[in-house]
Each structure stands twice: as structure tokens, then as C-alpha cells.
Amino acid sequence: MPILIDGHNLIGQLPTISFEDPDDEEKLARLLSSYRARTGKAITVVFDPGGAFALPRQRLLGGVKIVFAPHGSNADKVIINRVRRFRNPREWLVVTSDRELSDKVEGLGARVQSAEAFAAELAGPGATAPDWRESPPPADEIDAWLALFEGRNQQETGD
């Protein structure tokens, strides 16, 4: 059963992720990627739009589809519109604890699980805390980038 998640609603139920963290959405996506690897379930997570800067509307991370609502909209509207377009909404599970959103998508035929219950599943047996931090690039890669940004080419650097 594919899963459609109200991202910020779920973050609010996870003790390991804080809204104060500028990487909260990335951390949730990595946690969901780990869950997807364990379960094989298709996952789409929808977030409200970002701040003043433009975020890509959609991307893929570890098999998890990440969707940002466009400015002037919100995650609830995106989720409702997606459920409306599903050929068979009963095949989908929507994760949210937002009562209004739950009622709406249930009325459209989708199944609903609370964010609290899903958060407990994420921390269930076999769960691992993903190490989402990137390792630093090797020194030669740093040198190549520095040469590029400083306007040098490979011949000038002696390589």
C-alpha cells in the first residue's frame, strides 16, 4: 500500500527531529528512506512551501518522493488534490493527525493513519537512525573546485 505523508505533521510527532532544525525536512526524508528500504512501500511526503526562497517542487531521495506545495498553497491542498486524482484511493494510506485533512481524504476513499501511530512504526523493529551527514570531499576534489571558482584551469594548477 503506497503512503502519502503530511510531512510537517509527522515531524511534530518525532522526538528526534525538531522544527527548529533547518534540516528537519531532509532528516525526515532520510528516516522515511530507511523505512522504505525495510518495508518496500512507496512513499510520498508533502511539505508546506518553504520560506522566501524557491525550493524545487519535487525531488527523489532514497526512493522517497519529496513534494513541496507551491507558494499560495499548502500540503493539505496538495494531498487532497492527489487523492482526488488517484485511480483507486482505497489503495493509499494518508499519514496525518490533522482532523480536517483526515476527514476529507477519508471521504475521498483513502485510508488514514495518525502521525503518532506512524511515528511509532518508524521507530519499530529494524529501525536504524540514518547517518544523513555527508562526508567531506577528498582534497583533490576540493582543489579542483577551488581552481574552477578561482578561474584557473587544470594546466595552470600543474595537473
> What residues contact 154, with CB distance under 8 A and at least 6 apart?
147
Query: Does the predicted TM-score (pTM) go above 0.85?
Result: no
Residue-wise pLDDT for 23-71, tens only, equals 889 899 999 999 999 889 999 999 998 654 445 577 888 889 999 998 8
Q: What values do phi and psi take at 20, rounded to 5?
A: -70, -20
CA quadruple 80, 59, 131, 79: dihedral, nearest 10: 0
pLDDT in tens, 70-81: 888 999 999 999
Coil vs helix vs strand at 120: helix
Q: Tell me which of 3.40.50, 3.30.450, 1.10.4100, 1.10.3470 is the CATH number of domain 3-132.
A: 3.40.50
